[in-house]
């Protein structure tokens, strides 16, 4: 009987998490950005639920310092050419003219070595890459 109650409670908690927005589009977030629970806590994630990161070397507002080979390892979170700012999210123009989402002024990236939703293998990479937290 105790196992059934525990299992029922676990199911209710999982349902509550999905209703509260984890893994779903949130109001004030652009399409393709949501929150995801990870070992590092709640982080921003892309449409595939892959963790998003910020780069300490992005010090000039509205500009990404991660281009060329850097962007191959840390793919920018692409924004459509006609995307507009939403809440704390803005759009930056990259060196190649493409658009990228930024959160609180920091451009957002994924990490090629994250293999599945919830991975945070880029956290702390070279002490300049960090999970993006809402």
Does this model's pTM top 0.85?
no
Q: Distances in Å between the alpha carbon of 30 and those of 7, 54, 67, 103? A: 35, 17, 23, 10
DSSP reduced 3-state for 114: coil
* Residue 24 pLDDT: 52
Residue 79 has pLDDT above 70, yes or no: yes
pLDDT in tens, 3-40: 444 334 333 333 333 333 445 556 779 988 999 999 99
Q: For 79, phi and psi rounded to 5 degrees?
A: -115, 145
Compute the distance between CA of residue 111 and CA of residue 121 in angstroms, rounded to an integer.
8
pLDDT (average), residues 44-63 = 95
């Amino acid at each position: 009987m105790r196992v059934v109650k525990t299992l029922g409670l676990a199911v209710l908690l999982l349902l509550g998490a999905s209703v509260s927005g984890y893994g779903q589009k949130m109001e004030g977030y652009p399409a393709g950005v949501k929150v995801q629970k990870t070992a590092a806590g709640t982080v921003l994630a892309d449409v595939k639920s892959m963790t998003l990161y910020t780069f300490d070397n992005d010090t000039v507002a509205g500009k990404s310092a991660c281009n060329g080979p850097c962007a191959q390892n840390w793919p920018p979170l692409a924004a459509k050419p006609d995307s507009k700012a939403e809440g704390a999210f803005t759009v930056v123009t990259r060196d190649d003219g493409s658009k990228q989402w930024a959160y609180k002024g920091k451009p957002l990236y994924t990490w090629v070595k994250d293999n599945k939703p919830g991975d945070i293998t880029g956290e702390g990479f070279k002490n300049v890459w960090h999970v993006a937290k809402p």
